[in-house]
Amino acid sequence: MIKAAIYGASGYTGQELLRILLRHGGVEVTAATSRRYAGRPVADLYPAFTGQTDLLFEEASPDQIAARCDVVFLALPHEVSMAVAGAFLERGVKVVDLSADFRLRDETVYERWYAPHTAREYLQEAVYGLTELYRDAVRKARLVANPGCYPTSVILGLAPLLRMKWIDPDSIIADSKSGVSGAGREPVVNSLFCEVDEAFKAYKVGQHRHTPEIEQELGALAGTKVTVSFTPHLLPLSRGILSTIYATLREEVTTADALALYESFYRNETFIRVYKEGAFPNVSSVRGSNFCDIGLTVDGRTGRVIVVSVIDNLIKGASGQAVQNMNLMCGLPEDEGLRMMPLYP
Amino acid sequence: MIKAAIYGASGYTGQELLRILLRHGGVEVTAATSRRYAGRPVADLYPAFTGQTDLLFEEASPDQIAARCDVVFLALPHEVSMAVAGAFLERGVKVVDLSADFRLRDETVYERWYAPHTAREYLQEAVYGLTELYRDAVRKARLVANPGCYPTSVILGLAPLLRMKWIDPDSIIADSKSGVSGAGREPVVNSLFCEVDEAFKAYKVGQHRHTPEIEQELGALAGTKVTVSFTPHLLPLSRGILSTIYATLREEVTTADALALYESFYRNETFIRVYKEGAFPNVSSVRGSNFCDIGLTVDGRTGRVIVVSVIDNLIKGASGQAVQNMNLMCGLPEDEGLRMMPLYP
Amino acid sequence: MIKAAIYGASGYTGQELLRILLRHGGVEVTAATSRRYAGRPVADLYPAFTGQTDLLFEEASPDQIAARCDVVFLALPHEVSMAVAGAFLERGVKVVDLSADFRLRDETVYERWYAPHTAREYLQEAVYGLTELYRDAVRKARLVANPGCYPTSVILGLAPLLRMKWIDPDSIIADSKSGVSGAGREPVVNSLFCEVDEAFKAYKVGQHRHTPEIEQELGALAGTKVTVSFTPHLLPLSRGILSTIYATLREEVTTADALALYESFYRNETFIRVYKEGAFPNVSSVRGSNFCDIGLTVDGRTGRVIVVSVIDNLIKGASGQAVQNMNLMCGLPEDEGLRMMPLYP
Amino acid sequence: MIKAAIYGASGYTGQELLRILLRHGGVEVTAATSRRYAGRPVADLYPAFTGQTDLLFEEASPDQIAARCDVVFLALPHEVSMAVAGAFLERGVKVVDLSADFRLRDETVYERWYAPHTAREYLQEAVYGLTELYRDAVRKARLVANPGCYPTSVILGLAPLLRMKWIDPDSIIADSKSGVSGAGREPVVNSLFCEVDEAFKAYKVGQHRHTPEIEQELGALAGTKVTVSFTPHLLPLSRGILSTIYATLREEVTTADALALYESFYRNETFIRVYKEGAFPNVSSVRGSNFCDIGLTVDGRTGRVIVVSVIDNLIKGASGQAVQNMNLMCGLPEDEGLRMMPLYP
């Protein structure tokens, strides 16, 4: 059994990791840390875990945790992750970092959007963990930068078109909508039920920090610099991201052509489901699962392709993909622990 | 007192009309028809009306209702409206039609998207009732085609930019999200709570019937043919539409310039509220009111302007705007009956 | 025009007061205080108010505010209200207190459930502002203790039966369910969207502070000591309380008898709506209004009466009732500013 | 592998059965019937199943299906189930019936609340499938009447107290609240999103058909006739039932005593989780799982015990318990296919 620890386990991504790992056939969870809730049973904070684990949240240094695990998930805010990742790596512990700290290969870009980078020595070896695109590198990685939730939906939604150069890379608009769990469990007014319920808004228009991450990866796929309009919105639901992506076609292709391309591109992927012509995915069809569902249409009137992709932001957009990466890093079957069906309704 | 009737009063827009008119200082509601619920008190179907009105739904012909009113609201499905509008007009009754039947000036466009038109003789005199843009014509009209909910949000969101020719008319993408009440009260699986709750999807991608209506009005504003990408989505909430609109700028303008333009364009409008730089509206800020709130930003990175506009789809997107038009047609203050504050939270 | 101030205006009850008063024909709002948001326009915090008022939140002492108003609403936490009420009363300002501080006539009861009472000198003159039961006293009061939201629903639901002594006062069980706005706008984990959405729980079982308030008023109606089982629950919606109340009948009465009693008891009440036999109210039928809707049945199998009463917790359960009381205290029509229809759906 | 069929598979309980069985280690699903959707792939109706099964809904007689399975789940409306159950039983197929048709042992009670019974010959052998209470009988049964959702929550919530005769059997009040999926997928106005969202109501007060089922089983536990007040309510959420149950104590016991009794009574139960003193369960803590969580308190002030029990109505309240019963009937581990963690948030 692989020994896994969760460093920063009290938030929604932390508890989702634990939820998945407690039913994972190849992993034993040896520690779950939380400074705020140190000493309390996990089930105190999350009664859904009642009777399922005896784990207590604990406060412990990276060194202490490193001694007790083969792989660690860092479910920490950015800037905090990069402060602790090194301690694990130096002790031979594999790291899956769910923060943004190692996602941007160009540190100057990171510093423009985030903060000064304090662990540059690991930036080059960090593998961007969009598993479907970087599978071989993930297998060999000791540090995986788990992708952001929005980028996962947008990049998977566009990868085949960009790789084939069928679309104009300057025409991309990603209009994304996310459930509230993406904002985490911090008690802030903007995440209160009464503020979100029966409400819907755009936020950080033209300014969201996932923009450079999306552009880095779309650029890598296109083989050229890509600038996108990315607008995040907040949905009145807990789990799910839907991205509606618009791009101008450079080729005369039909919807059937584009779908055939996607079918082929994602042929061997367990977690990508391409819809038939005329069908578009709903976030409710992937809730509770690691799937990314994609539908698209070519609109002859405007010369654009419109792609709709959905994920569960806490699973394929965070903890599920993190486990998918861990499975590869540890030589386990890629879908181990991730075979759960979506929960509907 | 103006005598008003609601023809087809049992749906959500019908009851919303009644709700507004029962508190309207210049109008008396003389009839509310419904074939299905004929003979039943309004409060039986909508207990919110308990004690507020003695009206019964009745089944009655247009002729019978025409004899009892000065103005009629047709809250009917398309195709049904055009079959009855003439009977009212011929008897001198002013008509506000909430269906799509008289919105498209070109009957061939109507027939391509809807069905054969059976009341072409009224098409040319029908005034498109987006009040802020057609106020003078509405005042003189005897037949107003009340705008669709999505078009209201998109057209008000773009009018200043198109009138000034600041944007490329071929670059427009309207990504719109609507609450479920827009689908009406018909019992269909797609509108069930369990299908909509915790769910979000795009629908009729590239095919929604509001597309030609949007293009007609944007074209009129631009003075040239406009083709848009319009994608509607279904939000898990009852009331509200938010449209996120993207367009490529032809002029070098700043966000401040654009906002100044909007402030000026909508200077005398009671129901349009332009937000300050950096602020974007939430559907929850207009719920229960006739307001249309607008925010925007100019994104220098991509050369695009991004406009966000919100309305309550049942009020400014339907029944409120219908009353706003009726007020003008009947010589009443434009905001009579429409001064209600948004309900928040 | 009456000059009204809101002391503690930044929470949900404060903004609801402001929403009502801005459309009130006999009142001018002269001040809205908030320490945290001092200096900021109301519309910054609540964009729904955009263009409707120029008021800024201000930090000001009771003395300063007292000089600028005839009546003040204290929308403060308990313990804070009693610290400032005297300053207003001494300057001749009428006070409607929305906290619990002056609701319990017996200070020892207050101190057992809350905290030491620091303004006992006002306890005896404070009038419990359940308007329908204390109308005459409210008219003459200078200090009104506005009822709690749960007590309003329970007391109005049982008043006729207790006054007639038709039920066993020891048999009362009130199972109440409230929307989240009752918890206010404080950013706490328990009020986060992800914690409340798709969730439902009982809380403070057997321990909620509204219990003594309910017992005091039910006892006054019954003319004897009453002990109740009161269980509050948290609904995944913003506005609304529904109380399902069970009691054992001492008389052989039918549902028709009981409804006739309620009809008679509430005959002249604008804001109480008694439903017909077989009909029970939904919180959605009073949302956005000052109504309390009541349905009931006599269950012959068990010898119990079951009463269901609903209110909008922010309106009849707080700010609406506060304005209803202010109207009486100031000689205005009781329903002034409160004639709004429920918003449905 | 056990061959299982779902007769009537297109509703929410049908698809939930399929969801569970597709991940069940000991079962192969050989047929899923639906008259309305015959010929269509399951994933057409429920896109969550995309790529997970090739099953088509089919229209087939009981005889045809019986030839292809060892066990059948009847996910049919009452009256329809009893018309087909015999055909399966006669062909040696084990039957788990999710309707009410075989739950009431006394056919006259069935006929008073439902309709004439047309399969009385099977009534006496049918085993009431509340697994925790009838485990041994279920193992040997060839016809299991799977319990109703409300009764499951109420009976599990009271069983220890009634078995011990600690409460007065005439004092029981069950105030229950259910999510909307309990109403099934039929397109009716009352289940529309706009009718349920931001809404809450009691329904069928004193008249719900689960009343005699609850009374039959509570009576069996108490060893005497039991009459209850049972009030169902409709929650604005998809999954979950919470029952708040009140009863008068006949013994002087503490909360600790009562919890010790429950801990002991449910000691070996995988799916029953008893909470610690002061803790009460939330429906969100069991969503997506087969757990029934229970909390309680003894209220010295009123002499009552208050029990709160929660289940996922589609799982422990329907399809999960059905699989639990099937496991026993077929000699499989009781929790096979049912080890899923709750999905939170």
- The per-residue pLDDT for range A13-52, each reduced to its tens digit, is 999 999 999 999 999 999 999 999 999 999 999 999 999 9
User: Which residues of A fall within a CB distance of 8 Å from C180?
Assistant: 192-194, 197
Q: From the list D198, D231, D287, which residue is nearest C244 (CB)?
A: D231
Query: What's the CATH number for C2-125?
Result: 3.40.50.720
Q: How far is D296 from chain C (nearest CA, A)?
A: 9
Angle of CA points C306, C148, D300, to nearest 5°: 60
Pull the structure tokens for residue C342: 């429920």
Sign of the C-alpha dihedral computed for residues B102, B108, B114 and B115 taken in this order: positive
Please state the ipTM of this predicted complex: 0.98
User: Which residues of D fall within a CB distance of 8 Å from C284?
Assistant: 195, 198-201
Distance (Å) of CA A238 to CA A314, A333, B198: 10, 29, 7
| pLDDT confidence tier of residue B332, bands split at 50, 70 and 90 | very high
Chain A residues 175-204 with a CB less than 8 Å from chain D: 181, 197-198
Given this model, what pLDDT does residue C41 score?
Answer: 98
Instruction: Give yes or no for B47 touching D (CB within 8 A).
Output: no
Distance of CA B252 to the CA centre of its chain: 33
- The per-residue pLDDT for range C172-204, each reduced to its tens digit, is 999 999 999 999 999 999 999 999 999 999 999
| pLDDT confidence tier of residue A330, bands split at 50, 70 and 90 | very high
Q: From the list B181, B197, B293, which residue is nearest C50 (CB)?
A: B293
Predicted TM-score (pTM) above 0.90 = yes
**Contact criterion met (CB < 8 Å) for B282 and A194:** no
| pLDDT confidence tier of residue B311, bands split at 50, 70 and 90 | very high
**Contact criterion met (CB < 8 Å) for B280 and A239:** no
Tell me the pairing of strands D304-311 and D292-299.
antiparallel
Please state, in angstroms and rounded to a whole number, the distance separating the CA atoms of residues B299 and B258. 12
Question: What is the rounded average pLDDT of the residues B309-324?
Answer: 98
Whose CA is closest to B96, among B329, B333, B314? Answer: B329
Whose CA is closest to D241, among D312, D307, D147? Answer: D312
**Contact criterion met (CB < 8 Å) for D199 and C306:** no
Q: How far is C193 from chain B (nearest CA, A)?
A: 12
| pLDDT confidence tier of residue B270, bands split at 50, 70 and 90 | very high
Pull the structure tokens for residue D102: 């075989």
Instruction: Give yes or no for D341 touching B (CB within 8 A).
Output: no
Given this model, what pLDDT does residue A105 score?
Answer: 96
Percent of chain A residues topping a pLDDT of 90: 100
Beta bridge partners of B127: B144
Catalytic residue among D69, D149, D194, D330: D149
Q: In which residue are the tokens 């017909």 written?
A: C276
C274 with C263: CB under 8 angstroms? Answer: yes
Q: Where are chain D's structural domains?
A: 2-125, 150-313
**Contact criterion met (CB < 8 Å) for A193 and C198:** no
Supply the mean pLDDT for chain D: 98
In D193-334, beta strands by DSSP E: 201-202, 229-234, 241-248, 272-274, 292-299, 304-311
- The per-residue pLDDT for range C64-96, each reduced to its tens digit, is 999 999 999 999 999 999 999 999 999 999 999
Angle between helices D131-140 and D149-163 (to 10 degrees): 100
- The per-residue pLDDT for range D221-268, each reduced to its tens digit, is 999 999 999 999 999 999 999 999 999 999 899 999 999 999 999 999
| D194 in active site | no
- The per-residue pLDDT for range C291-303, each reduced to its tens digit, is 999 999 999 999 9
Contacts of B172 (CB under 8 A, 6+ apart): B158, B218, B226, B228, B229, B245, B246, B247
Given this model, what pLDDT does residue C35 score?
Answer: 96
Whose CA is closest to B31, among B11, B13, B53, B47? Answer: B53
Pull the structure tokens for residue D222: 């108490």
Distance (Å) of CA A183 to CA A19, A21, A175, C171: 19, 22, 18, 46
Q: How far is B195 from chain D (nearest CA, A)?
A: 8
Instruction: Give yes or no for C238 touching A (CB within 8 A).
Output: yes
| pLDDT confidence tier of residue C47, bands split at 50, 70 and 90 | very high
**Contact criterion met (CB < 8 Å) for A237 and B242:** no
Angle of CA points B2, B4, B8, to nearest 5°: 175
As separate numbers, helices (DSSP H) first and strands (DSSP E) second, chain C gives 11, 14
Q: Taking CA atoms, what residue in C is nearest to B272?
A: C51
Whose CA is closest to C32, among C52, C67, C60, C12? Answer: C60
Residue type, D152: T
Query: What's the CATH number for D150-313?
Result: 3.30.360.10
Given this model, what pLDDT does residue D235 score?
Answer: 98
Please state, in angstroms and rounded to a whole number, the distance separating the CA atoms of residues D13 and D8. 9
Q: From the list C202, C244, C281, which residue is nearest D308 (CB)?
A: C202
Given this model, what pLDDT does residue C176 score?
Answer: 98
C243 with C208: CB under 8 angstroms? Answer: no
Given this model, what pLDDT does residue C141 score?
Answer: 98
Pull the structure tokens for residue D125: 């052998």
Question: What is the rounded average pLDDT of the residues D156-162?
Answer: 98
| Nearest 10 degrees: Cα torsion D87, D89, D95, D99 | 50
Pull the structure tokens for residue A302: 């405007």
Please state, in angstroms and rounded to a whole number, the distance separating the CA atoms of residues D137 and A36. 49
Q: From the list C275, C284, C340, which residue is nearest B340 (CB)?
A: C340
Please state, in angstroms and rounded to a whole number, the distance separating the CA atoms of residues B16 and B229. 30
**Contact criterion met (CB < 8 Å) for C239 and B52:** no
- The per-residue pLDDT for range C209-227, each reduced to its tens digit, is 999 999 999 999 999 999 9
Preceding omega of A345 cis (within 30 degrees of 0): yes
- The per-residue pLDDT for range B110-163, each reduced to its tens digit, is 999 999 999 999 999 999 999 999 999 999 999 999 999 999 999 999 999 999
DSSP string of C59-86? ---HHHHHTT-SEEEE---TTHHHHHHH
| pLDDT confidence tier of residue A173, bands split at 50, 70 and 90 | very high
Given this model, what pLDDT does residue A333 score?
Answer: 98
B139-171 residues labelled b (16+ CB within 10 A) or e (exposed)? bebbbbbbbbbbbbbbbbbbbbbbebebbebeb
**Contact criterion met (CB < 8 Å) for B306 and A229:** yes
| pLDDT confidence tier of residue A3, bands split at 50, 70 and 90 | very high
Beta bridge partners of B192: D192
**Contact criterion met (CB < 8 Å) for B283 and A206:** no
Given this model, what pLDDT does residue D299 score?
Answer: 97
Distance (Å) of CA C279 to CA C153, C267, C342: 17, 18, 18
H or E stretch covering B145: strand B143-145
